[in-house]
Amino acid sequence: MKLDHKLHDIEIAQSITDLSSDKLDSNEEELYTPPLNFSMVDNGVFRSGFPDTANFSFIKTLGLRSIVYLCPEPYPDHNVEFLKANRIHLFQFGIEGTKEPFVNIPEITIREALQVVLDVNNHPLLIHCKRGKHRTGCLVGCLRKIERWCLTSIFEEYQRFAAAKARISDQRFMEVFDASGFKDIPTSPCSCIKR
């Protein structure tokens, strides 16, 4: 008799566990997972690593109009379909990823990408490369120079995302980047312009 009660209690405990698991599975569908290294740069401007299908529900919550993609590789078909379905415009600036210390980042490409980022008609927008560290970090660092941030703050932000993989060549690029061509831009262009 005691054995029957214990078996019955085990069966009840198992069915409660099964119900909890079912509930957990349905709640998991409601979770939003941001892409690697996701962060807000300024009002209407975000940065991250490459978003995959697990990040699409999160990305939808941002209400993006544009994505600035900094890699030369073609955008994957499933990502292109997501962009089409959500009417998000893709701007691709193919900057080669490199670990070489003396390979230059193409300044003209960074300037073209900055024009897209500074145009509030493209906001809200997401800037990304593969991991959201180097190419994205350089573009955001140059944006910070336009916003008149001090180099110490620019480098701290870059290092927060690049961590142990911070590159002196990237920091040198940001340091020598000439932001004077953007002189008509307010101190914080993204947050000062009304949408």
pLDDT per residue, tens digit, the chain (195 aa), is 554 554 444 454 454 444 444 444 455 556 898 999 999 999 999 999 999 999 999 999 999 999 999 998 999 999 999 999 999 999 999 887 766 555 577 889 999 999 999 999 999 999 999 988 888 999 999 999 999 999 999 999 999 988 877 788 888 888 989 898 876 555 454 554 333
- Catalytic choice (71, 129, 138, 142): 129
Taking the C-alpha atoms of residue 103 and residue 42, their distance in angstroms, rounded to an integer, is: 29
Q: Which residues pair with 126 in a beta bridge?
A: 46, 67
Closest CA to 142 of 108, 165, 166, 119: 108
Q: Is 129 known to be catalytic?
A: yes
> 33 by DSSP, 3-state: which?
coil
- N-term to C-term CA, the chain: 74
- The two tokens of residue 114 are 């900055």
